[in-house]
Amino acid sequence: MKQLHASAFLRRMGFLLTFVITCNTLTAQQKLNDYKVSLSLSNRPLKEAINDLQENTGLAFTYFEEDIRHAAPVSLSVNNAPLDVVLDRLFTSRSLAASLRGNKVFITPAKPEPVRYAVLKGSVRDAANGQVLPYATVRVKGTEMGATADKDGDYLISNLRPGSYTIVTGYIGFVTMEKQVSLSGGETMHLPIMLESLTKALGGVTISGIRRGEVKALNSMRNADNIKYVLSAEQIEKFPDNTVAESLQRVPGVAVGYSYGVARDVIIRGLDPTRNAVNMNGNRVPATETQSRTTDLNGVLSNTVEAIEIIKTLTPDRDADATGGVINIITKSAQEEKPVLAGKALVGYNGLTEKANYDLSLSYGRKKNKFGYLVSGSYFQSTRGQDRIDISYADYEIGEAEVRKPESITYEAFKIDRKNLGLNIDLNYDAGKNTNLYLRAIYNKYYEFQYSGSVGNSIGEWTSNDQAADITIYRDGRWRDYHRDIFTLNLGGKSLAGKMKIAYDINLNKGLYDQPKYWNASFNLGDQSARINLADPSQPVLSYDGTTASDLSNYTTRNYINRHERVDDKDAQASFNAIREFSLGKTSRIDLKFGGRYRYKTNERFRNYYNHVLLASEDDFKLSDFLSDYKRDNFLNDFMNLNGFPETERMEQYFQANKAKFSDDPTYTRQNTDPDSYKGKEDMMAAYVMGTLKTEKLDVVAGVRFERTSFDYKGNQVLLDETGTYISTTKIDNGNAFHGFYPSLNLKYKISNRTNLRAAVTRSLSRPNYYDLVPWQEIERRRKRINQGNPDLVEEPAINYDLLGEHYFKSIGLLSGGVFYKNVNKVLFDYSYEQKGGEYDGYRINTKTNGGRGKLYGFEVAWQQQFTFLPGFLNGFGIYTNYTYIQSELTTPTVETARKIAMPEMRPHVGNVSLTYEKFGFSGRVSSYFFASYLTEVGDIAAFDTHEKGRMQLDFSASQQIGKHFKATLNLSNLTRAKRSDYFGSEQYPLNTYVDGWWGSAGISFRF
């Protein structure tokens, strides 16, 4: 058999060689149609037909026997027909081809025609109003071929062989539709899909408003390959939340930290913002803070976004630096074929400051034919306030006993003017040949101006349980402002290249933190005594002895502080993703995806602090000469009237006009400026490969990502001598790199069309903050202490385990519950040790280092449902509730011992409860957000730990549709004026109490 195969191979090679030589040596050739043939054949073997042709034409026909042995018999009758026509009739149906070279006709197997695949694309919309239905499932019946529509309702199914198909489209709350299509080879068919609402199944309640938004979010979650939660724009607007940070407090597993009464820091599953990522349209958002990689989400207005995704399990095509999770902000884009003009105008009131606030937005967009555009702008202005009591403690000897008593008591009132501006331009273009391009320009500006006045009391001695002496009273005034800006420019697209879908993106980003104005003045009066009532330890009442403390002319100062700080965080990113689908039979397929990302980043911090001190020849400043008219009546809910603060703007004006009367303290300037100023750059390169197996019941997403981060930072070494006087500043330059592989596995088992069981095992990381990597040093010889950064830090790797079950109600809603476990290694923590040997032997070194180990585990449950199954009036009711329980353990090695504590910022209990009603054009909800007490700062021992006390906030929001185009809206926040507070060790030692008051707004929104 082997010899037979070898001889056949040699014969075929000789035939091909003869064919090639003939082709290259003959210069004059005749054509097949130059020969005329007459034949009459009936059911004859093909070989006999070829012999007859040889006799008719005189040509030599050359072929292999195996090529014609099984050819069908020939029946043919022609008279004086061209040879090419006869050969075509003989050979085409038998998959043979003929070519003439000289006087020889070569018969060879015909090359098979390549399959020309078809493409099916279009959009999914609501038949009632034409609005898009994002994340709809579009499937080819009887197979696993299909697609999930994107956020604009567009879908694309490629690699379809010519033929007839049944297309099945499903969407929660809508009737599943089947449509027949016939596709020819190479065709791109546009198939718009219009779905009908399940009005009957929903008890006569149409899908609009909050229900439309909820349906969008539920479809996105149900069809996702990983575990995530989605808030749509319609859901967001039903809560009285103005920013993305405020909106996120409504999400299962998410807690928020507050800044002056407004949600700012986002904690996902117990992990603080440094261990989470903030993306915008899939790209990392630059930082707007001074030392960290975090972004202040107060700077993004909620009405500028289309949706917010909270991604809790990672896949290899996403950046790995998100151990807690990813907040992906999806901005608005053009979706409707008709022009859409939408906006709102609200006016509000703050109960603490008794000032108005304004909330305005306007957008216009259209998507028609090949081009779509949307332009939008939002503006928010408010005057907020906060009343605060700050208390610190020390141990005093009273009689013969040692008693813990307040060491300082400060009353402070804030007035905060805040302005937000959000601008968005979104352009998209269908370039043909299954290519779509987009250009996005997004700008978010967040400006905040603060004025605060405070009265502080530093207590030197307690002479009895309610009497203190040696008190220094400080009356401070402070002006400061902040700019936190985000700008992103995004150019990219999606294309179909043969059988491969590709996506590409170039992204330019800039984040800004700028504090150009910080004016601070502190006037003091010493040697005072007072009776202190501690009946309520969170609100001490001081009654000063005598009248000296009440005479503001007795308060003096000789200095005035002015400082400026700015951080620029810039980066350029490029990403590429490609996906190829492979069929594994009729009901399963595997999608192979690969790609990568490159990001180049610069982070630069500039700090300039000045302490302007009056010359010795100048008289002290008196508070009575610089008195502000700022005051807070009914401070801390009628606790007292607070006033008597310096006006720092007048002091700034005096300084600018009389600079010759001041000298600057170089030690203060250099010590507070140089260690905190730096320049840095980073390179991040990533590549991944992953596969998605889709079967009738089980989806598996598995793959691995590689990331490498290199960095170089330039910092400063500041040296102070034995008297604490500044000596010198030396530049330091240092760089390093770290890398790792990050595999992940996500499973989704479809118990039914509306019930999924999900599981995931992923590896992630958290990068050190910028400032922690800077090679800065502050050497204090007087104190034998060195504070410094640590460029040898590496990432925190973590292994994450998740299990979640979810059921989607036919009547619109979700019931889900799951558990999670995170094991974090090389945890970053503050490290203090004594230097042994060398120039600084015996010095105390304070720095950051890796080495802690943390584990975190818990469960989360969520239930949201519209009770459309109830009769009549009752079917407008609904519920939105979730609860998360978390426990953690962090082991931080120190010089003395290894102590186990909870992860800071982790709330052990956090949740939401909202009762909703929507019907007859009305939508309303009463909402509460709550969390339990948690650890905020770790002390040397448990008795020195700081905790924030648990709190619950109650909100109300409502809207009423007025005609087809208008809606009246009412929002009220913190109706019960809930306080925030923290304590030292135990609740009997309250540290701080914050009162933010209540606030609200009302107005009109419209859509044309």
Q: pLDDT by residue (tens digit) across 24-52? A: 433 334 678 888 888 888 888 888 888 88
Match 């001190």 to its residue by tokens: 613
Q: Say what the pLDDT of residue 208 is.
A: 54
CB 572 within 8 A of CB 507: yes
Q: For residues 228 and 807, what is the distance between their CA atoms, to the nearest angstrom?
A: 14
Continuous segment of H or E residues that includes residue 217: helix 210-223
Query: If you average pLDDT over residues 994-1005, what whole number do you get?
Result: 93
Strands (E), 353-400: 355-368, 371-398
CB 262 within 8 A of CB 298: yes
Residue 981 exposure: Cα atoms within 13 Å on the Cβ side: 18
Match 């990689």 to its residue by tokens: 293
**pLDDT over 70 percentage in the chain:** 95
Return the closest-CA partner of residue 309 out of 335, 334, 282, 273: 282
Q: For residues 228 and 268, what is the distance between their CA atoms, to the nearest angstrom?
A: 12
Query: If you average pLDDT over residues 862-890, what whole number do you get?
Result: 90
Return the closest-CA partner of residue 966 out of 930, 925, 931, 921: 921
Q: Say what the pLDDT of residue 369 is.
A: 83
* Dihedral angle sign, alpha carbons of residues 690, 332, 335, 137: positive
Distances (CA, A) of 233 to 149, 656, 699: 18, 49, 29
Residue 796 exposure: Cα atoms within 13 Å on the Cβ side: 29
Task: Please state the pTM of the whole predicted model.
Answer: 0.85
Strands (E), 867-998: 877-893, 898-901, 909-919, 922-931, 934-937, 946-948, 951-962, 966-973, 980-984, 990-995
Q: For residues 169 and 906, what is the distance between their CA atoms, to the nearest angstrom?
A: 42
Cβ burial of 570 (10 Å; 0-12, 13-18, 19+) is middle
Calculate the average pLDDT of the chain. 89
Match 């905020």 to its residue by tokens: 936
Q: For residues 967 and 1007, what is the distance between their CA atoms, to the nearest angstrom?
A: 9
Q: Say what the pLDDT of residue 876 is.
A: 86
Radius of gyration of the chain (CA): 37
Query: If you average pLDDT over residues 823-845, what whole number do you get?
Result: 90
Q: For residues 98 and 143, what is the distance between their CA atoms, to the nearest angstrom?
A: 40
Q: pLDDT by residue (tens digit) across 177-222? A: 999 999 888 888 889 999 988 755 455 455 554 567 788 889 899 9
Q: pLDDT by residue (tens digit) across 516-555? A: 999 999 999 999 999 999 999 999 999 999 999 999 999 9
Return the closest-CA partner of residue 987 out of 957, 926, 943: 943
Q: Say what the pLDDT of residue 22 is.
A: 43
Q: pLDDT by residue (tens digit) across 564-576? A: 999 999 999 999 9
Q: For residues 682 and 736, what is the distance between their CA atoms, to the nearest angstrom?
A: 10
DSSP string, 597-661: EEEEEEEEEEEEEEEEEE-TTSPPEEGGGSB----EEEHHHHTEEE---B-HHHHHHHHHH-GGG
Q: The tokens of 755 are what?
A: 């019930």
Return the closest-CA partner of residue 447 out of 394, 390, 486: 486
Q: For residues 95 and 67, what is the distance between their CA atoms, to the nearest angstrom?
A: 10
Q: Say what the pLDDT of residue 30 is.
A: 63
Q: Is the pLDDT of residue 142 over 90?
A: no
Q: For residues 464 and 458, what is the distance between their CA atoms, to the nearest angstrom?
A: 16
- Please report, as a single letter, which amino acid is at residue 648: T
- Residue 332 has what DSSP assignment? P
Q: Is the pLDDT of residue 15 over 70?
A: no
Q: The tokens of 976 are what?
A: 């019960």
Query: If you average pLDDT over residues 381-394, what whole number do you get?
Result: 93
3-state secondary structure 2-35: HHHHHHHHHHHHHHHHHHHHHHHHCCCCCCHHHC
- At residue 27, φ and ψ (nearest 5 deg) are -110, -25
Match 């043939």 to its residue by tokens: 37
Match 């000296």 to its residue by tokens: 548
Query: If you average pLDDT over residues 620-630, what whole number do you get?
Result: 94
Q: Is the pLDDT of residue 308 over 80?
A: yes
Q: Is the pLDDT of residue 9 over 50?
A: no
CB 315 within 8 A of CB 703: yes
Q: For residues 406 and 541, what is the distance between their CA atoms, to the nearest angstrom?
A: 12
Helix (H, G, I), strand (E, B) or coil at 549: helix
Q: Say what the pLDDT of residue 328 is.
A: 95
Per-residue exposure over 356-385, b if at least 16 CB sit within 10 Å of its own CB, e if not: ebebbbebbbbbeeeebbbbbbbbbbbbbb
Q: For residues 429 and 435, what is the distance between their CA atoms, to the nearest angstrom?
A: 9
With vertex at residue 32, the alpha carbon angle to CA 30 and CA 34, rounded to the nearest 5 degrees, is 65
Q: For residues 706 and 684, what is the distance between their CA atoms, to the nearest angstrom?
A: 10
Residues near 531 by beta carbon (within 8 Å), at least 6 away in sequence: 466, 467, 542, 543, 545
CB 801 within 8 A of CB 820: yes
Q: The tokens of 380 are what?
A: 């928010």
CB 86 within 8 A of CB 50: no
Q: The tokens of 686 are what?
A: 């990533």
CB 795 within 8 A of CB 709: yes
Q: pLDDT by residue (tens digit) across 924-956? A: 999 999 999 988 887 777 778 888 999 999 999
Q: Say what the pLDDT of residue 42 is.
A: 87
- The confidence band for 885, taking pLDDT boundaries of 50, 70 and 90, is very high
Match 């400063």 to its residue by tokens: 716
Helix (H, G, I), strand (E, B) or coil at 207: coil
Q: For residues 754 and 810, what is the distance between their CA atoms, to the nearest angstrom?
A: 8
Bridge partner residues of 368 (DSSP) = 371
How many C-beta atoms lie closer than 10 Å to residue 137's C-beta? 20
- Residue 752 has what DSSP assignment? E
- The confidence band for 17, taking pLDDT boundaries of 50, 70 and 90, is very low
3-state secondary structure 49-109: HHHHHHHHHCCEEECCHHHHCCCCCEEEEEEEEEHHHHHHHHHHHHCEEEEEECCEEEEEE
Q: For residues 233 and 331, what is the distance between their CA atoms, to the nearest angstrom?
A: 10
Return the closest-CA partner of residue 905 out of 224, 257, 137: 257
**pLDDT over 90 percentage in the chain:** 64
Q: Is the pLDDT of residue 560 over 70?
A: yes
